[in-house]
Structure 1
Amino acid sequence: MDKRDLHRAFQERLHDIIAASGQSKGDFAHGLGIDRSALSQILDTGSVRLPRVETLAKMAQMHNVSLDWLLGLSESGQKDTEVKSQFELEQAPPEKDASLLSHWRMQALGQKIRYIPFQLPDIFCLPEVFKYQMGFDAERIRHVTQAAEDNVSYVERPDTDMEIIMPLQRLQSLIAGKDVWDAVPASIRARQICHIERLIDEFYPTVRLFLVDGLKNYAAPVTIFGNMRAAFYLGGKYMVLTGGQSVKQTMGYFDDLIRAAVVHPHEVSAWIKNARAGLEQG
């Protein structure tokens, strides 16, 4: 294969992964750490120059393909196959759990994060509430609190796009002090609810919270990092899917839940106020 044939094969496959990513060319370029004009030059049919090795490697890593496949040197090197889904079981001690998630999030910079929390979304949690969620484990609380602060910094980035799904019953229980929240003092719960209300408005539309009816729709705790990986929380472990088809199927599961939402992002703050008022009147 001569240089022109190599570059033509590379461009065809680059077009394929851009289309598969669902991103605009500008967002795709941003995820690679290059500007759109540089991507346009790479895609220019009159050019025979390949990107730098680091850029090629990042393309392959971020979009689950091998370098051989990307360069047209192999037909079977694409990691995203119809018959093989890649997954791994990641176990991290408490002090590394947050850094692992942060690492995955930074790898997916510029791509949408889809998130179903195990309890409350960490970006909405007060430090006092972490104590109850973490069983008063001081070391774990420290690491998780630091991670939550990092997450807020991430949310404030201009390129952040995050969707969160949560059963509405979880907020109802928090407001009423029932189930897992019965040991949390009413004053802390009230502050936590006000904190959620404020951040929902402050972070919108960068962060969008959807509430589903947990009696009709089970929302498994998972974080989907762009089109790169889906990490299901198993309690101290993560089942991580990296096969492209598996990640797409998980994205489809998430999007189905969004379609089933009974409270949409622009309605959540008002819904919380009504739920609080209803409890006070009751």
Structure 2
Amino acid sequence: MDKRQRADLFRRRLQEAMAHKNMTKSGLARGAQVDRSTIGQLLKDDHPRLPNAQLAADAAQVLGVSTDWLLGLTNRPETPGDIVAAALSLSPAERSSADDQLLAWHHEAAGYKVRHVPATLPDILKTERMMDWEYASCRERRLPETLDAQKSQLDWLTSGVSDYEIALPLHEVDACAAGTAYYAGANRDMRRAQLAFIADQCDLLFPRLRIFLFDAHKVFSAPVTVFGPNLAVIYVGQCYLAFREIERVRSLSNHFDWLVREAVVDARQVAQYIRGRNEH
């Protein structure tokens, strides 16, 4: 791009940014601390001119855009800090599935496939007795809200708005069946009812709901959810790491594909496997 082309692009982007901010030449001049005539010269289309570095930076700051965008070095008008903030955000995470942010992400993904690696058994498929047992130790119990949220998510799933894929470690099902690890101390009848419910939902909702079991000795995943092509979220305990940059979302989606490819129990056999473990 030669100097005249870059100057012309600068002029057009400056006009666009001013129109977006509803800012006059006088307003921009005051903000950038230059004469109004200086701004007028930059906006003339008969003799396009480029500003010096100081004026370009000041104008960009006043207009809330990046200097690189004004100068034609990038096609994204956001400042670098805004781009990073939009691509990666940190959100507080509730202990339960009643988390408003989590519910909002599910609704945002309407029409797209949701792909989920849960921290334990998937909340969307937990029974009331299992949730009551899980949240018994919480200082502030939100069981009624949690149950309502779980029902809303299950209704959302059964409505067919979005397909839902879950990759689950094999040991999670085995531990629930045996009452070991996370499920140590849980009532046997409650555990059996929980696994029976998951198996029934696998049969009832297939192929909208597909669960794949992987061997954590061979592959590993942190809790992660991919909400369609535009958002991926990693759960780290007290907060979520939310990614909106397309390459990061694609990378986490590829990670989920890897879990599916390495699954030792395919979605068509999961209900049978769970019922088999439940009989021991």
The interval holding the TM-score normalised by the smaller chain is 0.5 to 0.7
Unaligned runs of 5+ in 2: 1-71
**2:198 alignment partner in structure 1:** 196
**1:76 alignment partner in structure 2:** 75
Higher relative contact order (CA closer than 8 Å, sequence separation 6+): 1
C-alpha contact (below 8 Å) 1:231/1:238 kept by paired residues: yes
**1:272 alignment partner in structure 2:** 274
**1:133 alignment partner in structure 2:** 134
Provide the C-alpha distance between the structure 2 equivalents of 1:184 and 1:162, rounded to a whole number of angstroms.
28
TM-score, normalised by the number of residues in structure 2? 0.67
TM-score, normalised by the number of residues in structure 1? 0.67
C-alpha contact (below 8 Å) 2:243/2:249 kept by paired residues: yes
List aligned pairs for 1:119-198, cutoff 5 A. 119-137=120-138, 139-198=141-200
SS in structure 1 at match of 2:260: helix
Unaligned runs of 5+ in 1: 1-72
List aligned pairs for 1:90-101, cutoff 5 A. 90-93=91-94, 98-101=99-102
Provide the C-alpha distance between the structure 2 equivalents of 1:207 and 1:216, rounded to a whole number of angstroms.
24
Provide the C-alpha distance between the structure 2 equivalents of 1:97 and 1:161, rounded to a whole number of angstroms.
21
SS in structure 1 at match of 2:99: helix
How many residues align structurally? 205
**1:225 alignment partner in structure 2:** 227
Deviation at 1:269, TM superposition (A): 1.0
SS in structure 1 at match of 2:216: coil
**2:90 alignment partner in structure 1:** 89
C-alpha contact (below 8 Å) 1:87/1:242 kept by paired residues: yes
SS in structure 2 at match of 1:134: helix
Deviation at 1:158, TM superposition (A): 2.5
The amino acid that maps onto 1:86 is A
SS in structure 1 at match of 2:268: helix
Distance 1:235 1:135, change over 3 A: farther
C-alpha contact (below 8 Å) 2:195/2:275 kept by paired residues: no
Q: Look at both structures and tell me which one has the larger radius of gyration over its CA atoms.
A: 2
SS in structure 1 at match of 2:240: strand
Deviation at 1:190, TM superposition (A): 1.2
Percent identity over paired residues: 25
Distance 1:94 1:213, change over 3 A: closer
Could you report, residue by residue, the CA deviation over 1:151-201 in whole angstroms, capped at 9, with x for unpaired residues? 111101233211100001110010011111111111111111111111111
The amino acid that maps onto 1:178 is T
**1:45 alignment partner in structure 2:** none
Provide the C-alpha distance between the structure 2 equivalents of 1:236 and 1:248, rounded to a whole number of angstroms.
25
